[in-house]
Each structure stands twice: as structure tokens, then as C-alpha cells.
Structure 1
Amino acid sequence: MIDKLEMFLAVAKERHFGRAAQTLGVTQPTLSAGIKQLEEQLGVLLIFRGSRFGGLTPEGQAALVWARRIVGDSRQLREEMRAVRHGLSGRLRIAVIPTALTWAARISARFGAAHPNVGFTILSRSSVEILQMIEDLDVDAGISYLDNEPLGRVSSVPLYDERYVLLAREDHPLAAATRLPWSALEGQRLCLLSADMQNRRIIDRTLSEAGVTTQAAVESNSTVVLAAHVLEGGWLTILPQGIASFLAEGKPLRLIALEGRGGAYQVGLIAPWREPHTPVLDALLGEARRLVDR
């Protein structure tokens, strides 16, 4: 039944039989037959369908919760048995907000040194996407904000507090300052992360509280793109201090502290709530705790 539940999860996620079949590497007739067999086993209709996907039935919505739980438990069992036979191995999939990618590198480097048979796939995603990917079992963990928007039920390890700085080229008129109020950004040419990023929502709110009208002529989901625009001249961007320091290293860029408004926002490693965790995920959470406690 596990393979049929995997098919059901794929269809529920993709909301399209063809795309779900492609994701699973099976033909669409095989997928349709698997879903039909699952419905026959459970004795309920899971999916409304005619010529195309029509959504989950009420029974399908309830079954989706159980399917995620059962498939998650099945994957955990395989992970635990593999750990018993071979030690920690496999691949950890982690989705990370763009401003925390340097922390993902710190964790994976330390973890990889201790457990060389474990590989990593690290994806840059928005905080909303990270939570959905964890729920859909598309990633094993995430690095995201812990206290600015609801997370639901997850395990978490706080990593650091995000504090914002202004990034400017060294010949920009504001580059001579060491500290500036947020209100000083009124009328400046800003390039910022795109509106789907929680970082951008925090910055927009803080600028609004300072009486600044946000006008970002350039938006991107990449911090590298923002830093490149600043380097080209005339632009300013607002980033957390850690990623800003990394991007500015060795370049004619200056970091200017922003003061007067805006607090610190906690960022941490999050994982699905599960007791116990898989051995690999449990080791990852432990490595994150040790990194912070150093």
C-alpha cells in the first residue's frame, strides 16, 4: 500500500495526473490504476476526476493527513534500518531562506566532516515554501524564521538573531556613515528581496513604521543579485548582517548599521515534529545545537 500512498501524495501535491506521474517516474495509466486500487482498498473515493484532476474529496482530505504520516513513518523505518546496517548515510534535503544560506553551509560542513556518507541537497526557498515542502515530505528540514509567522508543529533549534544593515558601495553618499536611522532611506534607490520573502515583509513593515515609502525598483529572490546591483553603483540594499558581510568581503562595499526601529528576528533549523526523528535528522538537530553552543 505504501507505493499507492506515494502516488496519492504526488497527485495531491501536483494537482495534475500527468505531472504527478512524471515526478514518480511512472506512466499516467500506472498512476491512475494505483489510485483506483487505493480507493478500492479504502472503500472511498479520494479524488474528484473526469477528464482531469478535480480536487480531493472530503475523504481524500482526511486520507491525505494519514498518508503523509504513514509514508513518513515508512521512510523513517527505512532510514533506521539503513543506519543499523551501515551507520549514518543517505542524503539530507534542506530548504533555506536566502539570507541564511551561509548558515546552511556551516551546518553541512560540520555534519559532513563527522558523517562523510551523508550528502546534502540545499535549496533556496521562501519561508512559506519551506513549510509546505516539509509538510509534503519534499525536504527533511529547513532553515527559516522561528517567531515572525506561525510555523505549526515542528521541532526547532534557534541558530541566530537576524539584524539588518544597509549595504552600499564605498563611493555612495551614505557610505561614510557608520550608523543610520531607517528614516534616512526615504527617497533612496533600493533593491530588495522579492515580496514573497518573509525578509521583505519584515523590511517593508519596518520602513513603513519609520515613515519611509518602499520603492524597490529591483526585486530578486537572490541576495547575490542584490549585492551585484549595489556593486554596479547607485543602489542600496538591506540585508541581515551575516549574509551582508559574506557578500561584501573583498569588494568595495560598506555595511552601515540601521538603528532606531526594527528588532531582531530569530532564525533556526526546523524539522517535522516526530518522536523519535530518523537517526540522520536527529544527528543534524544535534549538530545544530552544538554549533550554537560553541
Structure 2
Amino acid sequence: MTVDRLQRPAIHVRGLEKSYKELRVLRGVDFEVARGSIFALLGSNGAGKTTVVRILSTLLRADAGTAGVNGFDVATQAADVRESISLTGQFAAVDEILSGRENLVLVARLRHLKDPGRIADDLLARFSLTDAGARRASTYSGGMRRRLDIAMSLIGNPPVVFLDEPTTGLDPQARIEVWQAVRELAAQGTTVLLTTQYLDEAEQLADRIAILHEGRIIVDGTLTELKRLLPPATVEYVEKQPTLEDVFLTLVGDNGKDHTPGTDA
């Protein structure tokens, strides 16, 4: 990787637009993701989060705008982008007939990597799955399957990982397991773009949070910056800081319409 590309953001999006016939899904999306950070793209169902991820991972072509991943343009350098990323969708894509270790070895072999057994063992240890490595994936809990899925996506050490609603359908304990795995990814220098509709997930994990609503980014900042958008509430003379849920509902509105702080609903 050249020095010039190293100095660029891991992900760069400007004016991204996408429509399906009369339905305008993205209406000019702009954001950047710093290298080695966790960026949460937060929004309700149908807000366009998955569409953004599909464009960034070269699975879908934008109608307008530009996007770059790891210094490569998603439209003109798609092969380079695909070599730089890994995508984990909303449901674990593991082979339940195979064991956890066999799933990892299979992916390593498909990528023509040397010593796939060592790679599998290293990832099993990294994601606390060593004791379950010889068991069929069908016997895994939801959290274990998701952790295995993420481990499989890391084979080849991609610098950028897209996690599209990775905790959908998981119980609270499984979600915590996945959260820890995501934190460890970023701690080792991997850039993570996380899409989620769970406010606490973004609050727990993200270095920066962008709220996508009706095809546009309506706010982008750190959790602290987003909380400053609302004044603290005073309850019995005790100052109460707004939660991310307060910020989200104020900006998006209970009925799904934009609402600017300080204006009448």
C-alpha cells in the first residue's frame, strides 16, 4: 500500500445516490471512516443501510456520487476493493455440517493460503472457540455461530470489515459476545463499518455514529457530540445527560419524520 493511500480515510463516501424505479433509497450520502476505527451507520429498517454496504462492497452500483474503500474507487477499482474487504451479512453463513475448524480451513483453502490448519487454530483461539472447534457448527449457540462467521471473514487479514446488522436475532448474551469480538477487531487495527438498528449497540461500540434517515445522513459525530445536540434534562435538581435513544428519536421523530431540535413538532 502506498503512503498516499495510507493517509486517506479507510472509507470515503460523497454524494451517494441510489434509486429503485421511483423509490429513492439514497439521496446524497456523505461520510468518512478513519482507519482502525468502528463506525456505526444507524437507522431504522428501510433507511438504506444495507444499500450503502452493498455499494461499498461492489455488489451494487450507485446511480451517482463517489465511494472509496482502502484508497480504491468502488466503481473503477472493484477488484482492489474486494481484496481489501470482508462482508458479514445479517445471518451467519457457516456450513452447519462441518465443524468450526473445518469451516475455517475450507475458507483458507479457497483463498489459496498457506497452512490453513494453523490459520484456523489461530482464529479459533482468537474468538474463544478452541474448545468447540471440533464440534459441528449446527451445535453452536447463536453467539458462537456469529463469532465463527466473523472469524471466517477475517481469513486473509482484510483491512476493512463490513458488519451488516451482525446481532440481528441474537439473545442478549450472544450480542455481548459479538460486541467483544468487534472491539477486538478494532483493537488490532481493523476498520469496522457496522450497520445496526440497535441504539445500544452503536452506543457501546462506535467511535463515530452516523444516523441515516430517508436516504440522507442527518447527523454524524462521536457519541459525546451527538448528546450535545440535546440539552440535559434536570430531574429533581440532578442533571440527566441525553441518551443516544433520545438523540435518535428527536432527530428522526416518533412517526419517522425529521424533527430539528428546538423547533415545534
- Higher Cα Rg, which structure: 1
TM-score (normalised: structure 1): 0.22
TM-score (normalised: structure 2): 0.23
The structure with the largest helix share of the pair is 1
